Chain A
């Protein structure tokens, strides 16, 4: 996938040879056995459960399989249909992108901001930390139910506070122009806590001497963070970025708990489930959507890996 930087190989070869010699170790027969079992089992499981199923999904996506009838090859018909006549696909893609943008530009930076604040040893810092982290302990499905309790049109807390309880409540979750933003708000609520705790752990590991040096050199807090701490946190930054992307693409449970992902709350994951599971059993068609989701995910993963490998080989 990623070509190693070829020109440097010859140049570095003489230098690395002496280093390697001292590291060579002899493996006993038992070591080899243990290693091959450990690695072998992992590889077999990985091939069977991840690559195997992915390949089968890709193959099924070119068929009209419905779980009962014999499988018939239909070429790219499923993809063509999804891209041309499925009105929900566009909405789902838009919602997944909104999710990514919202988490990436608002929730994640806010979580980092909170982590930096909490790292400054405020009073009651432990209390804030727990309060912000609490939603992470809840599953997103549970948050979906909470969302309903809070925003429901006739029995929701918000409408009760606004005094709109007599059939004139705001339909936060039923209005397809409004509901996605409400869901993002609640998904973001949880995401902020998650990012905060990750980042806080990272901040604790930054050498305080770095910060002290920056302060002595006359940097203000913003400069200290952006110029000194943030670059030093590179491994954590990468993890936070990856988590944000993964959370956006795999989002599913919260909308499924609210209205099974319909009426403005479509997501790619929901379309896959609706087509494959359920009475419809459009397994070929659903697989095609899943393959597209996989391609988007792979896009992010490959970009990430390319970056990492390039930096490491430097």
Chain B
């Protein structure tokens, strides 16, 4: 405190930033954003980058131990969990000065106690992708409904193509497909309640999801935009990939929900330079910061309505079309539920969904998930 009396508040500060943006492009994007902040504020930011899986695995110990002043993380339940445990600093005062965020974004940044703990920087919708050249040459059309999708998948099989693209070595990509089938069949609210442990996994609604999933009727590929953009061999491959919403299953739900995880930053309670951390958080919440980041990494879309969208690629335009039309935006299974449940139960359960075929297998699996859910959710979060 004495120090802040002696040094004026606009004096040069050093702020540390913990980042999990370890792939080359996102890493450059963060550096671009930080450079812009440094030249604007005169403060120095030290970026500590950790490989992203390692970062996520160690987050509990990181927040408890010796965290940076500002730390990269994910919006939604995955952030609220740590807020409830008392490991994040309340940044409601920063939020009161932020502009350009809608209510959905604010909710995703708010903890269970109604205070804000998170500043979003971008989001990326998940959807289905297809190759335009391939579809044109075969005369396929992107499916709008579940029936269309099944017809298309059958046609593709007849033509000797594999209609399914799954990459489930890490366990999480299939979660997106499960989420989508669930939201299309049962609606957004059911998804939220199921993830929060309020709905039963043994209900017929879940079993129906399991059955569709287990039959491997799902064709094409469900992915987030960065997975396509950052991993495609050439830019031409990206332009050739067309994103379309996951088809409707129950007309009552239509295609009103989109899964679009939000990434951003939070301030750990143990931050050494809280003033500096809040100043940086405030900058990250500005349209300028998003522009600086997205200038380098064009696989995501801005969340701030003030951000510049004029230079968007066709993929980004499609992505923003998807999120703007959405009535509700879900995060992602492992971001909408408790980490102890997502990590130890759901990853293996979803992998089993892919393997199981008969309804009795799915019954057994659902009963088991429910039993484990009850046991884990019996532990209060805070």
CB-based nearest A residue for B162: A167
The answer to whether B64 and A67 touch across the interface, beta carbons within 8 angstroms, is yes
The answer to whether A68 and B170 touch across the interface, beta carbons within 8 angstroms, is no
Tell me which residues from 313 to 371 in chain B have a Cβ below 8 Å from any Cβ of chain A.
Answer: 339-340, 342-344, 347-349, 351-352, 355, 365, 368, 371
Tell me which residues from 75 to 115 in chain B have a Cβ below 8 Å from any Cβ of chain A.
Answer: 85, 87
* Residue of B56, B85, B162, B368 touching A85 (CB-CB under 8 A): B368
The answer to whether B64 and A85 touch across the interface, beta carbons within 8 angstroms, is no
**Bound CA span A68–B355, Å:** 36
Asked if A279 lies at the interface with its beta carbon under 8 angstroms from chain B, I say yes
Asked if A87 lies at the interface with its beta carbon under 8 angstroms from chain B, I say yes
**Bound CA span A85–B171, Å:** 20
Asked if A54 lies at the interface with its beta carbon under 8 angstroms from chain B, I say no
The answer to whether B57 and A263 touch across the interface, beta carbons within 8 angstroms, is no
CB-based nearest A residue for B347: A262
**Bound CA span A64–B168, Å:** 30
The answer to whether A278 and B343 touch across the interface, beta carbons within 8 angstroms, is yes
Q: A64-B379, A262-B171, A263-B168 are in contact. Are A279 and B87 (CB under 8 A)?
A: no
The answer to whether A277 and B57 touch across the interface, beta carbons within 8 angstroms, is yes
Asked if A174 lies at the interface with its beta carbon under 8 angstroms from chain B, I say yes
Asked if B61 lies at the interface with its beta carbon under 8 angstroms from chain A, I say yes
Main DSSP-derived SS at the A contact region: loop
List of A residues within 8 angstroms of B348 by Cβ: 87-88, 262-263, 266
Interchain nearest-CB distance for A247 vs B (Å): 25
Asked if B3 lies at the interface with its beta carbon under 8 angstroms from chain A, I say no
**Bound CA span A64–B87, Å:** 19
List of B residues within 8 angstroms of A277 by Cβ: 57-58
Asked if B59 lies at the interface with its beta carbon under 8 angstroms from chain A, I say yes
Interchain nearest-CB distance for A173 vs B (Å): 8
**Bound CA span A263–B57, Å:** 19
List of A residues within 8 angstroms of B379 by Cβ: 64, 66, 69
The answer to whether A262 and B372 touch across the interface, beta carbons within 8 angstroms, is no
List of A residues within 8 angstroms of B344 by Cβ: 274-275, 280, 282, 285
Asked if B10 lies at the interface with its beta carbon under 8 angstroms from chain A, I say no
Asked if A259 lies at the interface with its beta carbon under 8 angstroms from chain B, I say yes
The answer to whether B371 and A85 touch across the interface, beta carbons within 8 angstroms, is yes
Q: A87-B348, A259-B169, A282-B344 are in contact. Are A69 and B85 (CB under 8 A)?
A: yes
Tell me which residues from 257 to 309 in chain A have a Cβ below 8 Å from any Cβ of chain B.
Answer: 259-260, 262-263, 266, 274-275, 277-282, 285
The answer to whether A279 and B85 touch across the interface, beta carbons within 8 angstroms, is no
Interchain nearest-CB distance for B241 vs A (Å): 18
* Residue of A263, A281, A282 touching B351 (CB-CB under 8 A): A263
The answer to whether B372 and A278 touch across the interface, beta carbons within 8 angstroms, is no
Asked if A28 lies at the interface with its beta carbon under 8 angstroms from chain B, I say no
Asked if B60 lies at the interface with its beta carbon under 8 angstroms from chain A, I say yes
Interchain nearest-CB distance for A177 vs B (Å): 9
Interchain nearest-CB distance for A108 vs B (Å): 31
**Bound CA span A176–B170, Å:** 14
The answer to whether A67 and B169 touch across the interface, beta carbons within 8 angstroms, is no
Q: A263-B351, A278-B343 are in contact. Are A87 and B368 (CB under 8 A)?
A: yes
The answer to whether B375 and A281 touch across the interface, beta carbons within 8 angstroms, is no
Q: A87-B348, A87-B352, A260-B170 are in contact. Are A278 and B371 (CB under 8 A)?
A: no
**Bound CA span A134–B65, Å:** 42
**Bound CA span A66–B381, Å:** 10
**Bound CA span A262–B376, Å:** 20
Interchain nearest-CB distance for B340 vs A (Å): 4
Interchain nearest-CB distance for B57 vs A (Å): 5
The answer to whether A68 and B85 touch across the interface, beta carbons within 8 angstroms, is yes
CB-based nearest B residue for A173: B169
Asked if A81 lies at the interface with its beta carbon under 8 angstroms from chain B, I say yes
CB-based nearest B residue for A68: B85
Asked if B310 lies at the interface with its beta carbon under 8 angstroms from chain A, I say no
CB-based nearest A residue for B380: A69
CB-based nearest B residue for A85: B371
Looking at B168, B355, B379, B380, which has the most chain A CB atoms within 10 Å of its CB? B379
Asked if B382 lies at the interface with its beta carbon under 8 angstroms from chain A, I say yes
Asked if A12 lies at the interface with its beta carbon under 8 angstroms from chain B, I say no
Interchain nearest-CB distance for B170 vs A (Å): 7
List of B residues within 8 angstroms of A220 by Cβ: none
Tell me which residues from 192 to 235 in chain A have a Cβ below 8 Å from any Cβ of chain B.
Answer: none
Interchain nearest-CB distance for A82 vs B (Å): 10
List of A residues within 8 angstroms of B169 by Cβ: 174, 259, 263
**Bound CA span A107–B314, Å:** 56
CB-based nearest B residue for A175: B355
Looking at B87, B169, B352, B365, which has the most chain A CB atoms within 10 Å of its CB? B169
CB-based nearest B residue for A148: B169
List of B residues within 8 angstroms of A266 by Cβ: 348
**Bound CA span A64–B162, Å:** 45
**Bound CA span A262–B350, Å:** 11
Q: A85-B372, A279-B57 are in contact. Are A68 and B343 (CB under 8 A)?
A: no
List of B residues within 8 angstroms of A282 by Cβ: 340, 344, 376
Asked if A121 lies at the interface with its beta carbon under 8 angstroms from chain B, I say no
Interchain nearest-CB distance for B376 vs A (Å): 8
CB-based nearest A residue for B354: A263
Asked if A86 lies at the interface with its beta carbon under 8 angstroms from chain B, I say yes
Per-residue contact bits, chain B 28-63, to A (CB 8 Å; 1 contact, 0 not) = 000000000000000000000000000011111100
List of A residues within 8 angstroms of B56 by Cβ: 279
CB-based nearest B residue for A263: B351
The 7 closest A-B pairs by CB, nearest first: A280-B343, A279-B339, A85-B371, A280-B340, A278-B57, A68-B85, A281-B60
Chain A contact residues, CB within 8 Å of chain B: 64, 66-69, 77, 81, 84-88, 167, 174, 176, 259-260, 262-263, 266, 274-275, 277-282, 285
Contacts A262-B347, A263-B351 supplied; 19 other A-B pairs, CB < 8 Å: A64-B379, A67-B64, A68-B64, A69-B85, A69-B382, A81-B372, A85-B368, A85-B371, A87-B349, A87-B365, A260-B171, A262-B348, A266-B348, A278-B57, A279-B60, A280-B339, A280-B342, A282-B376, A285-B344
Mind listing 17 A-B residue pairs with CB under 8 Å? Answer: A64-B379, A67-B61, A68-B87, A69-B380, A81-B372, A81-B375, A85-B371, A87-B348, A87-B368, A262-B348, A263-B168, A263-B351, A266-B348, A275-B344, A278-B57, A281-B339, A285-B344
Chain B contact residues, CB within 8 Å of chain A: 56-61, 64, 85, 87, 162, 168-171, 339-340, 342-344, 347-349, 351-352, 355, 365, 368, 371-372, 375-376, 379-380, 382
